Structure 1
């Protein structure tokens, strides 16, 4: 049963739209800029405090553990949940696991899950061409940007350009999904839990007030900001530097460093060749932690209809 979602009503595509599914200007773009600006400024300021805290205090296992646990959770939240499950439907699962995946995705503090998925669908529909959400080779108005300016656009400035994704084209089903609407409406609550409350409780439980603040600044803000940049690097570096296993009409690359940092999503050329495949790593040596986790869920009976590329299609 679908429900009306006021946050998404009234979106329309102006005549100046550079490509189908792209909205130029208007209140939707303003909301995008405010949301991403709030996220980036908050994470950046908190990270700077975290760096200062590190210069004034000894780093202990408490801060390191808070950082690593949080990093793993949001890494799975983006790569396995937002990317492979919600965007590409690479596998199916039950309602409980689905909610946990949504929660992990919300913990990554990358804005609305609905907008994230719709933006990524648009990216695949127009990869490195007019209408791409965040290409280093073409900007929001279809101008060639295969320079350092293009890298900045793909990594950062697309968050504040004057376009946004039309949910009527790329996300109509998302706005009718009760669970995703719930996470959309409560996204700031999950962000505060991820960055402040849970790391703070962890630090306080094991080290008192001093380590509570250390866990918040290092294991909350700094962790989230660093990982956000790794995800953004898949847009910029992942379409500029690396190798190409498959020749395609885009510039997607396989990049080992990005793959390690993002639990597999750095095998980006592989992914663009087989976007619905549950596994970005296609060779035994292409480490793909999120893919391994999907296999684990499958073996436990918690994931099924896992999409796999037939071996005959692989080189």
Structure 2
């Protein structure tokens, strides 16, 4: 196979057939899952000896809202779906803060998510709870695969195919390359703040655990639940081609990502809460950026289009 042929194959293939890179991705995925889990267990164990104060709670909530918010606003709705445009400084901040959530570099995240949408709940979907590489998945196996197992069993998504626009942006490429740096900074910030606020080493340790590892652990599983839980349990306001569901219980921890059936019905919409009662903090944040002139071309479906696509336009029950 010539070099030119390899280049063409890489551009056209949706996944990368390279065992070395696959093994590297699996080792990276193991660290992504394992390190926050160890930190979470350590924080829970320390509770028995030192308890928890408002400092740790504040650091957890503050860092959680910032990083998970940047993941949903930036990684998901902006970079993956291009639901709005933003100035380079805003894009950089969203990419950096989203990286601190510990869910992978921005280009990898966006490419994988686009891959999921193109083949949602079909054999090529990286994390469907129903089918994987042509094999039907049982209930428990499907839940495990779609939540965590896919990190270790799915083929590596080709970012050149799915995220060419991001690869052509030097700023985003650089931020993506510095992913581990942002992770370290995201852990250092709550540790330093915890130490400064309490003026103790224990305060720094607890800041690291709660504002760092626990925050990362909870945020990861909240986001991953959208690809697993929200494809199994919940209501379907729209008859989309896959099994996405609106799950109200996931709305708060994902800052609006729980309206998953809405999202699959209108994937390019910056607003996921399509009804007045559907809480969507991420949509509110994007609208705030729009009013401040920091975001524009904010995509949202018209009420007429929403009504036309509903399974039952007269249905007004609250989704669970």
Question: Same-fold call, TM > 0.5?
Answer: yes
1:87-126 alignment runs, 5 A limit: 87-126=80-119
Note if contact 1:112-1:184 (Cα within 8 Å) is conserved in structure 2.
yes
Residue deviations 1:187-246, cap 9 Å, x none? Answer: 001001112x10111101110211111111112101110110011110100100000000
Residues in 2 aligned to 1:121 and 1:202: alpha-carbon distance in whole angstroms: 36
Offset of residue 301 of structure 1 = 1.2
Segments of structure 2 that go 5 or more residues without pairing to the other structure are 1-5, 308-320
Matched, 1:268 2:240: no
For the residue of structure 1 that corresponds to 2:16, the secondary structure is strand
In structure 2, do the counterparts of structure 1 residues 112 and 10 end up closer, same or farther at CA, with 3 Å as the change threshold?
A: farther
Matched, 1:163 2:155: yes
Segments of structure 1 that go 5 or more residues without pairing to the other structure are 1-8, 14-18
Matched, 1:80 2:73: yes
Residues in 2 aligned to 1:240 and 1:204: alpha-carbon distance in whole angstroms: 42
For the residue of structure 2 that corresponds to 1:222, the secondary structure is helix
Offset of residue 76 of structure 1 = 1.0
Residues in 2 aligned to 1:274 and 1:28: alpha-carbon distance in whole angstroms: 34
Match of 2:222 among 230, 248, 261: 230
In structure 1, the residue matched to 2:288 is 296
Note if contact 2:255-2:280 (Cα within 8 Å) is conserved in structure 1.
yes
Residue deviations 1:89-124, cap 9 Å, x none? Answer: 111111111111111111111111111000000000
Note if contact 1:68-1:219 (Cα within 8 Å) is conserved in structure 2.
yes
Residue deviations 1:252-289, cap 9 Å, x none? Answer: 00000111210111100000010000011100111000
Note if contact 2:226-2:257 (Cα within 8 Å) is conserved in structure 1.
yes
In structure 1, the residue matched to 2:300 is 308
In structure 1, the residue matched to 2:278 is 286
Match of 2:35 among 26, 30, 42: 42
Q: What root-mean-square deviation, in Å, do the aligned CA atoms of Structure 1 and Structure 2 show? A: 1.7
- TM-score, with length taken from structure 1: 0.91
Note if contact 1:77-1:101 (Cα within 8 Å) is conserved in structure 2.
yes
Offset of residue 175 of structure 1 = 1.9
Note if contact 1:12-1:166 (Cα within 8 Å) is conserved in structure 2.
no
Residues in 2 aligned to 1:162 and 1:272: alpha-carbon distance in whole angstroms: 22
Q: Moved runs in structure 1, 4+ residues, more than 4 A?
A: 9-13
Match of 2:192 among 201, 208, 233: 201
Q: How many residues align?
A: 300
1:60-71 alignment runs, 5 A limit: 60-71=53-64
- TM-score, with length taken from structure 2: 0.90
Note if contact 2:237-2:261 (Cα within 8 Å) is conserved in structure 1.
yes
